Amino acid sequence: MIKKIRKAVFPVGGLGTRFLPATKAMPKEMLPVVDKPLIQYAVEEAREAGIEHFIFVTGHGKTAIEDHFDANPNLEKLLMNDGKWQLLEFLRNSTLESGKISYTRQSEPKGLGHAVWCARDLIGDEPFAVLLPDDIFHCKTACLKQLVDAYNEVGGNVVAINDVPLEQTNRYGVLSVEKDDGRLIKANGMVEKPDPSAAPSTCAISGRYVLSPEVLKELDNQKAGVKGEIQLTDAMAATLDRVPFHGVRFEGRRFDCGNKIGFLMANIEYALDRDDLKDEFKASLQEFIKTL
């Protein structure tokens, strides 16, 4: 029987060193794309996919994330008094309902697999989603919703897939492909950050997952992989003998906001998609490009 995906895990325990000095005292996940923090894009996507409970795996220096999703009655009162109704709506949209949000702590950043494992008691024995907030997906249908729809057809583990240039396979988990219908890929293996010469394909796993609780059992082994980190890819691979594994070539565009070029491109894309900004921004961009 296919169980509903009710819970999502947001691993936000990483150090974000590629964005220093911005991330010296501020979590990377609070960096804004246009005017909304990365983490809020991920939370809104999860909501669109029907997620009911939001689990954050945080670490040292991440309390701004908790404050961001909490109510701010003083600011609400101020905006109400000034009749700033749209800003009030933005503020309220960024508040998550008490009891529907949980925080746990990753005391040491030992890798993505370890971060997910830290949420094991909050997840329990049910399938769940994982969203890496530094990947944002600009899609008509939320990327996680596309994964959940595929999961409702095939069950098991389902991940988002990006076709990447061969020379970039050493940045991603990469699938070994058994069957590929253009949208859905059935995998019979996967390897974390393979050298291009050893990569089984160019189907790279991006930051959205629907996972069986079997993956948590594998993570119990706490086995370190590439770079000495506990890798989620290794735990998913270890369940291949008993859990079906599929990748979805999602429709839409992914921005890796953990690196600077991806982050800058995301700002351009999202600004050009905003009714209140696009005309003026596009004109400014065009003028600017002429000066290059």
Where along the sequence are the contacts to ligand UTP (CB under 6 A)? 11-18, 28, 57, 106, 109-112, 114-115, 132-134, 258
Closer Cβ to ligand UTP, 192 or 214, answer by number: 192
Q: Which is nearer to ligand UTP, 135 or 214 (CB)?
A: 135
Q: SS3 for 45?
A: helix
Cα–Cα distance measured from residue 277 to residue 267, given in angstroms and rounded to the nearest whole number:
12
User: Least distance in Å: CB of 24 to ligand UTP?
Assistant: 12
**Kind plus residue range of the DSSP H or E element containing 75:** helix 73-81
Residue with tokens 């003026």: 280
Whole-number Cα distances in Å, 183 to 186, 194, 249, 257: 10, 23, 5, 24
Question: Between the CA atoms of 211, 215, 219 and 223, what dihedral angle is there, to the nearest 10 degrees?
Answer: -110
Nearer to ligand UTP, 84 or 105 (CB): 105
DSSP string, 235-277: HHHHTTTTS-EEEEE-SSEEEETTSHHHHHHHHHHHHHT-TTT
How far apart are alpha carbons 194 and 190 in whole angstroms?
Answer: 9
Least distance (Å) between residue 15 CB and ligand UTP = 4
Measured in whole angstroms, the distance separating CA 261 from the mean position of its chain's CA atoms is 18
Residue 290's identity, in one-letter code, is K
Residues 64, 70: Cα–Cα separation, whole Å: 10
Q: How far is the CB of 114 from ligand UTP (least distance, A)?
A: 6
CA nearest 25: which of 68, 70, 64, 69? Answer: 64
Minimum separation from the CB atom of position 138 to ligand UTP (A): 18
- The residue (of 18 and 47) whose beta carbon lies closer to ligand UTP is 18
Nearer to ligand UTP, 115 or 235 (CB): 115
Instruction: Using CB positions, name the residue nearest to ligand UTP.
Output: 14
- Find the shortest distance in angstroms from Cβ 126 to ligand UTP: 21
Q: Which is nearer to ligand UTP, 135 or 271 (CB)?
A: 135
CB contact at 8 A, 166 and 194: no
Residue 177 pairs in a beta bridge with 187
* Closest CB to ligand UTP among residues 61, 109: 109
Taking the complex as a whole, how short is the minimal distance between the CB of residue 12 and ligand UTP, in angstroms?
5
Closest approach, Cβ 284 to ligand UTP, in A, equals 30
Question: From the CB of residue 189, how many other CB atoms can be counted at a distance below 10 Å?
Answer: 14
